[in-house]
Chains A and B, each alone.
Chain A
Amino acid sequence: MLSIRDLSVGVEGKTILRHLNLEVRAGEVHAVMGPNGSGKSTLAQALAGHPAYTVTGGQVTYLGRDLLAMPPEERARAGVFLAFQYPIEIAGVSNAAFLKAAINEMRAARGLQELDAMEVLELLDQKLALVEMDRSFLNRPVNEGFSGGEKKRNEILQMAVLEPTLAILDETDSGLDIDALKIVAQGVNRLRRADNAIILVTHYQRILQYVEPDHVHVLFDGRIVKSAGKALALELEGRGYDWIKDEVAA
């Protein structure tokens, strides 16, 4: 589904990702772990197409298409979804209006008829339950005045509504208390299907207790330096990242 080859990315003239390689197949959950500053968020943002991140080398193929040639909205319409580490607050735009716009832009891109306000509301009602949010969330401005946990749940709500083929969750677990983490993890698990894939970008092993990964990768200094099964996450939890650094240095 996703094939990242030799990807190098810089921001503000500084190289962050260096010749990164990653293969993701349908039905898989990949955890990308690593210490602060290793390039985890850069990978997530670059895949979503953030204009501040400049690709300086390599290729990314998504469902046979050149992902890097697509503007962000086209990536989204093709099924790529980024759950933001820091969801953006938008004054004056209700969650409902935001989701309606997203739903209908996606539908239009797929040649489907737009949903009207009532139809959107019906759809949203089904999805709200998944992240244990009530309807009042829909009338509030996007993320404005939301608690940290509410913001993350709102990201998962959007994911549930947009039903992505490839979801990239950028530190969705950070800053969540255990109850919120469980809700988020449960939401992610319910959205897991044989024909989609999830990349979980995280600093901690904690969320992986609830969302079981097929593969765990360690990102260090802009490169994936170690890949293994889910046991690697536990090892990182126990031993920290220093031994990886030592291994790389050796």
Chain B
Amino acid sequence: MTTALAGTDRYLAEFEDLERRDAAATPAWLSELRRSAMARFVERGFPTTRDEDWRYTNLAPLAATPFHAARSVTSAPVSAEHVHRIGSSAWPRLVFVDGRYAPEHLSGPPLPDGARLSSLAEAMLDGEELVERHLARHARWDTDVFAALSTAFVQDGAFLYVPAETVIAAPIELVFLTGRPDGLAHPRILVVAGPHSRVTVVERHVGLTDAACFVNAVTEMAVAPGASVDHYVVQEQGASAFHLATIHAALERDSAFSTCEATFGARLARTTLTVRFGGEGGRASLAGLYVTSGRQHVDHHVTVDHAVPRCTSRQLYKGVLDGTARAVFDGRVIVRPDAQKTDAAQTNKHLLLSDGVEVDSKPRLEIFADDVKCTHGAAEGQLAPEAIFYLRSRGVDEPKARQLLTLGFVREVIDRITVEPIRSYLDRALEARLGPERGSKENS
């Protein structure tokens, strides 16, 4: 508890400093919001393992480390390789370094009329009404400590607005680069998709170094009636990073939302994903794959709130664990009393590549309606020795056989990805990470 208090104290000092520096440029609603959120964060403090939602994820090392936000826009050396790793130059793109917008990397074609893609700081400075209406109105900073922390420090990030009936064909890529030792970044994304609009958002988090840093990312997506948002996350933080992500999608009537998250990096990665159906006929497809080794800790807390009737949700999360890695999966599906004709399915599978790994997978179905279809399944397993022998009998040596079978295990998730450059990038990234040389590299 002492460390947790010391932790919040440090953030409070930073907060007061931010308020002093930013006072003149901050609109009243934002000051108010920040202060309330900070008060909430201080009041709650860092969660401990006594907190049910954090039972298997110990944040003591995070709370004990003095991280500091960048005071100004840093000009860290950013290579084109980091920026253009997945998408082509034809993708609209914003790049952020240590949480701050780096305008020199702006690229991509102009957006359709009325659409807006800009830094959040710029949108707030312009008095963009949609920001005031939606920012921190979806992610539950009153109950989620890290959403509160992000909201208290909200300064910059990405803002995307897609007007009604508008289709943005090219995926919009938001690249967050982090690398400053003991750096603290609060990447923030706000997506407002108007009625019957369509957009794909790719969120990438890249560690430029293996220095310890704390990335507290919050993504809010407001999906209007009939709109469709496809969301991707590729997390490739450095080996000593703490990556905490809060993702919230608010779905209105007949809207569709998909998210697919690939988690590779960070010593501790936690995703708190909430999808809330606010109108009938909504569809959500949630998927994730995580590949961990060494002492990595990956935690997914997924909540799907079927608050209204006739919505469909699908969850598919697959994890590959090696070394002494640990995975936590908590999949909560709430079907509220009125939410008849709910159709919800959840699958969570782990492939255990070593004896030292640990998995805590917990489905939580809270069903208060009777005319519903809800299924869940969880499984843990190792590579089948018979399959390894089958491959070896065809001339494929054991390390390569293990790689092929492991890639096969996550294929189901990859196959859900409809954006070809993301698919092929993940194929390459997985092949490299699950390569036959992996074992020897890890041991050296």
Contact = CB atoms under 8 A, between A and B. Distances in A.
Interface of A: 48-51, 71-73, 75-77, 81-82, 84, 87-88, 90-93, 97-98, 101-102, 105-106, 109, 141, 158, 162
Given A90-B387, A97-B404, A72 B410 contact: no
A3 B163 CA distance: 77
B407 A93 contact: yes
Among B389, B394, B395, B410, residue most surrounded by chain A Cβ atoms (within 10 Å):
B395
B394 A162 contact: yes
19 contacts: A48-B393, A71-B397, A72-B392, A76-B393, A81-B393, A87-B390, A90-B387, A91-B411, A92-B408, A92-B412, A98-B391, A98-B394, A101-B396, A101-B400, A101-B404, A105-B395, A105-B396, A105-B397, A141-B408
B302 to A, nearest CB: 22
B117 interface: no
A92 B351 CA distance: 13
A76 B392 CA distance: 8
B15 interface: no
Given A51-B389, A76-B392, A91 B409 contact: yes
Contacts of B398: 73
Contact of B394 (A49, A71, A76, A91): A76
Contacts of B384: 88
Contact of B395 (A88, A91, A93, A102): A102
Contacts of B410: 92
A72 B389 contact: yes
B367 to A, nearest CB: 30
Report the 10 A-B pairs with minimum CB-CB distance, sorted nearest first. Answer: A92-B408, A92-B411, A76-B395, A102-B394, A93-B408, A72-B392, A88-B390, A105-B395, A106-B395, A73-B392
B351 to A, nearest CB: 11
Nearest to A144: B408
Contacts of B411: 91-93
B408 A90 contact: yes
Given A90-B408, A91-B411, A92-B408, A49 B393 contact: yes
A105 B436 CA distance: 13
Interface of B: 384-387, 389-398, 400, 404-405, 407-412
Contact of A90 (B390, B392, B395, B412): B390
A242 B405 CA distance: 44
Contacts of B395: 73, 76-77, 102, 105-106, 109, 162
A98 B405 CA distance: 10
B417 to A, nearest CB: 14
Contacts of A82: 393
Nearest to A141: B408
Nearest to B406: A92
Given A92-B407, A98-B404, A84 B390 contact: yes
B268 to A, nearest CB: 28
B392 A71 contact: yes
B288 to A, nearest CB: 16
A162 B396 CA distance: 12
A90 B394 CA distance: 14
Contacts of A91: 408-409, 411-412
A92 B400 contact: no
Contacts of A87: 390
Nearest to A89: B387
A239 to B, nearest CB: 35
A84 B391 CA distance: 12
Contact of A101 (B386, B387, B391): B391
Given A49-B393, A75-B393, A91-B411, 7 more contacts: A51-B385, A73-B392, A76-B394, A82-B393, A90-B387, A92-B412, A93-B404
Nearest to B409: A92
B259 to A, nearest CB: 21
A114 to B, nearest CB: 13
Contacts of B408: 90-93, 141
A109 B397 CA distance: 11
A146 B105 CA distance: 50
Among A81, A92, A106, residue most surrounded by chain B Cβ atoms (within 10 Å):
A92
Contacts of A51: 385, 389
Contacts of A72: 389, 392-393
Nearest to A78: B395
Contacts of A92: 407-412
Nearest to A102: B394
A73 B401 CA distance: 10
Given A73-B395, A77-B395, A93-B408, A105 B390 contact: no
Contacts of A106: 395
A90 B405 contact: yes
B84 to A, nearest CB: 24
Contact of A88 (B387, B400, B409, B412): B387
Nearest to B408: A92
A105 B400 contact: yes
Contacts of B396: 73, 101-102, 105
A71 B400 CA distance: 14
Contacts of A50: 389
Nearest to B411: A92
Nearest to A72: B392
Nearest to A51: B389
B400 to A, nearest CB: 7
A162 B411 CA distance: 26
Contacts of A84: 390, 393
A54 to B, nearest CB: 14
A64 B130 CA distance: 79
A73 B391 CA distance: 8
A169 B397 CA distance: 22
Nearest to B412: A92
A101 to B, nearest CB: 5
Contacts of B393: 48-49, 72-73, 75-76, 81-82, 84
Contacts of A97: 404
A72 B410 CA distance: 26
A46 to B, nearest CB: 12
Contacts of B386: 88
Contacts of B390: 84, 87-88, 90
B192 to A, nearest CB: 37
